[in-house]
Amino acid sequence: MSYSTAESLPPVTLDDVRGAQKMLSGVARVTAMEGSRHLSQLVGAPVHFKCENLQRTGSFKLRGAYVRIAGLLPEERAAGVVAASAGNHAQGVALASALLGVHSTVFMPKGAPLPKISATREYGADVRLYGQVVDETLAAAQEYAAGTGAVFIHPFDHPDIIAGQGTVGLEILEQCPEVGTIIVGVGGGGLIAGIATAVKALRPDVRVVGVQAEGAAAYPLSLAAGRPVPVRNPATMADGIKVGRPGDVPFRIVQDLVDEVRTVSEDALSAALLLCLERAKLVVEPAGASPVAALLSDPGDFEGPVVAVLSGGNVDPVLMQRILRHGMAAQGRYLAVRLRLTDRPGALATLLGVLTVVDANVLDVSHVRTDPRLGLAEAEVELHLETKGPEHCAEVGQALREAGYTVID
């Protein structure tokens, strides 16, 4: 059944989530639960990853999209569905529609990563690129729905979507019955609302914690105000949770059932993604790594066992490279130094020899001789180095000073 306004939507119950679980049997994967020894030592309690990054289409979004589309009336299915998304929801709607034999049209921003556009098309959707930001794309999709009769599939603001996402919560309780805390990345709120609905009905003692990026944190403001409050110009590398306003339906559930929504920095997100890749050998997008960022930011604040939901793994390779560099820099594993030296043959080789002695790996060298700020016999060198951490960075700086170099701020 479809609904026209948020106010007319019924609440989501445990029975709805259980019904969604039956509907998704053989469609969505029961994703793995993996332990993290490193985080367990850091937190002082068992920490597990719920690996929705290994779900079909690379995120949890298939669950809700399939339940929503499967619940349409025959005449609604015949009219087709339409969605707007920069990536994960687009792929979830495309695959769900293909599995159910429903035509799907997906509007995506012109700047959406090419791998996500290609994947959405390969799942069978008619992809239309429109607008530079998701808000423009969303408006185009809603206009298309109004003009064609296609059913608009909202990414989070519908009970069927929330019920589908809530099946993640049922799986967590089955895979880790002793769980004490569940940490979930939050954008519009559909995933955490579904998980909280299922978990709190069966285990009200379990603490459910949401995580948002500092630059796109609409929920803390909204919860303080008692109503959804939009954030202007949300900005974060975690595009999967970069949502300017909570959904009306999930907000009510979050308000009633979620224990806390906290924020994390961009540095913490980068470090979390790097940890998932290095320690767990899991490719996770920044939004999916947000629960890990919360654990790294305040490891002593979570009662175990802890389950961190890795909600997605769809990350553009170019963005991945930038994020990994950012994460390594935040951990003191990159060092940029700028210094001046005498412009004479062999001066650069002598400098590099100093760095060799302290085992600093040179990634990039910029050697400038013609800047008007320089003296006649001077050259300026900027070096980008790969180091082993903050202590090694300090050792490199000390070696340069002892060799007579002055580092320029």
Structure-token match 């939901």, residue found: 309
Return the number of other C-beta atoms located less than 10 Å from residue 42's C-beta: 15
d(CA 151, CA 144): 10
Q: Position 69: which residue type? A: I
Task: DSSP for 259-284, please give it.
Answer: -EEEEE-HHHHHHHHHHHHHTS----
Task: DSSP for 184-229, please give it.
Answer: EE-SSSHHHHHHHHHHHHH-TTSEEEEEEEGGG-HHHHHHHHTS--
**Nearest 5°: CA angle at 268, between 262 and 273?**
115
Of 134, 54, 33, 22, the closest CA to residue 89 belongs to: 134
Q: Is 311 a catalytic residue?
A: yes
Tokens found for residue 202: 């069966």
Of 196, 190, 208, 198, the closest CA to residue 287 belongs to: 190
d(CA 309, CA 240): 14
Q: Choosing from 59, 290, 297, 311, which is the catalytic residue? A: 311
Q: Is 59 a catalytic residue?
A: no
d(CA 353, CA 133): 48
Contact 104, 94 (CB under 8 A): yes
d(CA 188, CA 230): 11
Return the number of other C-beta atoms located less than 10 Å from residue 146's C-beta: 11
Q: Choosing from 61, 116, 200, 242, which is the catalytic residue? A: 61
Alpha helices in 203-257 (DSSP H): 218-225, 248-257
Distances from the Cα of 404 to the Cα of 16, 340, 351, 386, 399, angstroms: 71, 11, 10, 22, 9
Contact 62, 23 (CB under 8 A): no
d(CA 77, CA 337): 60
d(CA 400, CA 335): 13
Catalytic (active-site) positions: 61, 311
